[in-house]
Structure formats: C-alpha cells, structure tokens
Amino acid sequence: MTSIGKMGRPMRVHPLLAFFQVASLLLLLLAVALVSAIVTMQFAIHGAEVQVPALKGMTVAQARSQTAGLGLDLVVDNRYYSADVTSGHILSQSPVPGTVVRREWRVRVAESLGPQTVEVPDTVGQDQRVADFNLRRVGLNVGAIAQLPFAGAPQGAVLAQDPAAHAKDIAQPSVSLLVAAPSGDTPDGYVMPDFAGVRAASAVAALAKVGIHTLPLKMVDVPVGEVGPPGSIPRPPVVPGAVVAQNPEAGARIDQSTKVKLLVAR
C-alpha cells in the first residue's frame, strides 16, 4: 500500500500496519454495534417493566381494569369475610404495590365478602352428601374432607366439622369435614383441631394418638390483657402451658407426614 508523503513523494505503508489499521476500524465498528444493541436491549427490557399499582379498596372490576391497562394479569386467589372492607372490594394483594415486574405478570388478590351474614349449619351426623348440600344452600363451600374409621357411625357420616356449628367471625366461607370410613380402612387424613387454649400436653397426646408428631414446643411470652372499662367482663389471662397458636391452622387437612408446630404460653 502507498500514500503521499511530504514533498509529494509517495510513501509505502507496511502491509502489517495497514492490516492493523483495518482491524482497528472493524473493532471500532463492532464496539459501536454492541453498545447500540445493549442500549436497545435496555430500552426494550425497561419498556416491558411496570410498577404494580395499589389495589386495596378497589372493586374487583376496577382492579382488573387498572392491571389490564398495565399489561398485568389479575387473579382472585381467595375470598374472605371482612367487617372493614365492603363486599366485592380488594382486601390484599401480591406482589405489594410499587413492585417492579414484567408485563403479563400475575397479580394475586383476595376479595372481601363483607361481614359474615350466614350461620354455619350443624352437619355432624349427616351423610356427607347431605352435609355438602346444606352447606352450599347457605352459600358456604366444603373445604378439606378427611376420612377416619369409626365403628360407631355409618360410613359417610360426618363425625366433626370446622368451623363448628353457629360459629361467628369465621375467616373463609368454607367448612372442613371429618367423615366416617369403614372400620377396616386406614385413615387418609384428619381435620386439624383448634387447640387454642388447650394444654400443650393434651394437644400433643391427642395428635400422637392418631400418629401425628409435633415439632419441639416453642414457648412464648403472652402479655396480660388490658383491664376494660368499669362493668365490663374481664378477659381471662392465658394459662401458662396453653396453646396460643398453631400451624397448620384449624380446619386444615393433616396426615401422618404432617409436622405440627405449637406455640405455647410460657
């Protein structure tokens, strides 16, 4: 390769130098292309991201309209009774407001059913199908169903339910049932009892009787309740050694593989 030097005299450029000049130019063009691609990708990624809006208190229709406008997918996961949030409005959401997610992300919400207006019927002793009908007739759903061999009851009869009959302030519109199975059958599970206020030793013994184990008891301090106004009925203190919380919650289906956790008053 030649070039014109000083005084108009032609100068020869070394082939290796010419190669490096061309290679440097190609590398520069490649770097520019890569930077442009990265910038374009960043714009594309951030353009596909949105912030999850605050939906609590909206109607389900309003929340669905707002999330759809952002390219998000709204799913009503659960429905709960609430004395504070009007029926048909959003109680809670996941992810929380302000979370940055990709478009088409699924936003799960819980819908309020308003205050509990139905009375839980007594299904104990009824055939499972009759109990199912009576629960649905008043707007309740059948929750977990567990079977237990019980010689003193006909097959399919309801032995226990949770929540109990006439219960007030229940969380969800569902009732779990414990149903009698043939006496020769092995139980496929149980309905978790409500051990709140029960002595921990009694709760552990009741679970062990059907082959369900508990994790080591966790002792917790329980504050003394405040004294109410004059004339009010004082709230009894929590007895030391009594269960104050449990996991799984009452009404959940459990079996021999379940490890029950009990929080006990110190």
Query: Residue 30: what pLDDT?
Result: 79
Residues 27-53 have pLDDT tens digits of 777 777 776 666 555 544 455 899 999
Helix, strand, coil tally for the chain in percent (to 5): 25, 30, 45
Query: Residue 228: what pLDDT?
Result: 55
SS (H, E, C) 176-240: EEEEEECCCCCCCCEECCCCCCCEHHHHHHHHHHCCCEECCCEEECCCCCCCCCCCCCCCCCCCC
Neighbours of 161 (CB within 10 A): 25
Architecture per CATH, domain 116-190, reads as 2-Layer Sandwich (3.30)
Query: Residue 105: what pLDDT?
Result: 93
CATH for 192-222+238-266 (3.30.365.10, 3.40.47.10, 3.30.10.20, 3.20.20.450): 3.30.10.20
Spans of all domains in the chain: 49-112, 116-190, 192-222+238-266
Cis, peptide link before residue 149, omega less than 30° from 0: no
Q: Which fold has domain 49-112?
A: Trypsin Inhibitor V; Chain A (3.30.10)
Q: Is it true that 116-190 and 192-222+238-266 share their CATH fold?
A: yes
Q: Which residues of the chain have pLDDT under 50?
A: 2-3, 43-45
